Copies of this chain bind each other. A is one copy, B any other.
Amino acid sequence: MITVTIWNEYRQDKTVESIRKIYPDGIHTALKNGLESPDLNIRTTVLDDPQQGLSDEILDSTDVLIWWAHAAHHELTDENVRRIVEKVHSGMGLIVLHSGHYSKIFQALCGTSCSLKWRESGEKERLWCIQPFHPIARGVPETFVVPQTEMYGERFDIPEDARIIYMSWYEGGEVFRSGITLERGYGKIFYFSPGHESFPIYYQPEILQIISNAIRWAAPQCRGVINAPKVPNLEPIRSKE
């Protein structure tokens, strides 16, 4: 059983009428409903919950954290950023969605600005699988369309060890590394760009399948303690004699 925590900023989907029509119970609830499975224990928390939805009890028991945020990145406390980053380093899986590319936690784990080009025109996006053998791509067609999306375009400022699982083509002329994996310490990270709040993208089967696969891929098989230990020598040291 994999314990999944879906964390949602839950601001625009609570207050903006046009977005509420698409996600009446919030993006987190739509994702939870779309991802339900007998081998997953899924719960949701939101920014306005106590401790920003990130108590020790929650973080300590999370195998995979799913992150959706947009307008309130700056509200997440530096202490909570530090706590999440440490959890990833010691093995917790992390799935960062859409505008989460500019969250403090993704920037802290990438070490880069995570800047990109963007445009909100409701244009067509076509995704292409670059690693057809990767577990994240299992059961998903090699190419598929998101009918209306926010455009995210290159240059996407991410580190060179980002492994590309999906690349996107946009009607308006851009390309984008839209599905990438990273490893940081014992933890696995998947960033996936589709999911703009103005369109019903998290109801689309291919999108849910990819996130569902990513949960299984990112679930920790091994957790570790990272603590800069002082160690004795294993072979004899003669030079200082």
Q: A: which residues have CB within 8 A of B?
A: 78, 86, 89, 91, 102, 108-113, 115-119, 121-124, 126, 128-133, 135, 138, 142-143, 147-148, 151, 153-155, 157, 159-161, 163, 167-175, 182-186, 221-222, 224, 226-240
Contacts and interface: CB of A to CB of B under 8 A. Distances in A.
Copies of chain A in the complex:
4
A154 B165 CA distance: 11
A171 B239 CA distance: 8
B168 A175 contact: yes
A108 to B, nearest CB: 6
Contacts of A237: 121, 123-124, 171-172
B115 A226 contact: yes
A90 B129 CA distance: 17
Contacts of A235: 126, 169, 171-173
A227 B111 contact: no
A234 B151 CA distance: 12
A233 B224 CA distance: 36
